[in-house]
Amino acid sequence: MTRVRYFAAAAEAAGRAEEDRTEATLGELRAALAAEYAGLGGILPRCAVLVDGERRDDDAPLAGAQHVDVLPPFAGG
C-alpha cells in the first residue's frame, strides 16, 4: 500500500490531505484519482507527481513505494 499525499489545490480538490492506495503503477493511480475526484482530474495533468521524492513515468511500479506526492503548480517565487 502506498501513501498518497496531496498538497495545496490538490488537497482541496481531493478533499483530503492524504490516503492509502493500492494501484500497481503510477499510471493506474493517476487514472483512478482522476476518475474518483472530478476536481483533481482537472488539475492532475499539470501536477508534479513524485514517487518517493522522484519524478517517474506512468509505467513505474508502486510496489514498495512509501509515498506519492501530488504537487500542483505553485505561484510566486
Structural domain total, the chain: 1
pLDDT digits (tens, 9 = 90+) for 11-50: 999 999 999 999 999 999 999 999 999 999 989 999 999 9
Is 4:70 a contact under the CB 8 Å cutoff?
yes
Task: Flag whether 77 is in a domain.
Answer: no
User: What pLDDT score does 45 carry?
Assistant: 93
Task: Flag whether 76 is in a domain.
Answer: no
Query: Whole-prediction pTM value?
Result: 0.92
Report whether pLDDT(75) > 90. no
Across 1-77, where does the E strand assignment appear? Answer: 2-6, 18-21, 48-51, 54-55, 67-71
| Count of Cβ atoms closer than 10 Å to residue 15 Cβ | 11
CATH number, domain of 64, equals 3.10.20.30
Task: Flag whether 27 is in a domain.
Answer: yes
User: What pLDDT score does 74 carry?
Assistant: 78
pLDDT band at 63 (very low <50, low <70, confident <90, very high): very high
What domain range is 47 assigned to? 2-71
Task: Flag whether 47 is in a domain.
Answer: yes
* Residue partners of 3: CB distance under 8 A and separation at least 6: 18, 19, 20, 21, 66, 67, 68
User: What pLDDT score does 76 carry?
Assistant: 55
